[in-house]
Amino acid sequence: MFSLLLAIVACSKDEVKKPALSVLPKAIEADANGKTQEIKVTSNGKWTVKSNAAEWCVVTPTSGENNGAFNVEIKPNETLASRETTVVVKSETLEQTIEVTQDAASREAVLSGSKWEI
């Protein structure tokens, strides 16, 4: 009887953990001035982060393990066009996407930053 109980307890310890991955918030909105947003990761394994517009949407750090966080820095937008991209967080078998949108600069801001030569 004791052997059977020991065998059942031993098997339960060898169970494989089901992968888990979630992020909050799932969307970031920034005005033309930009911003930095912390993203919280809930996971039970290793994960990586990648921005699909690394020139203006920068993530640091780009990897972690288990529960943690990373920052998304959205650089100022000096154009008259709004912009959007995604940040993707991946574990071995799971993926989460964060939508990033940024407002366009105002006409006044774009013109005040221009250099005029005659």
Residue range 68-108, pLDDT digits in tens: 999 999 999 999 999 999 999 999 999 999 999 999 999 88
Distances (CA, A) of 92 to 87, 96, 115: 17, 12, 49
Domain residue spans of the chain: 17-112
Superfamily designation of domain 17-112: Immunoglobulins (2.60.40.10)
pLDDT of residue 35: 98
| Sheet-wide strand order for 57-60 | 21-24, 35-43, 68-74, 57-60
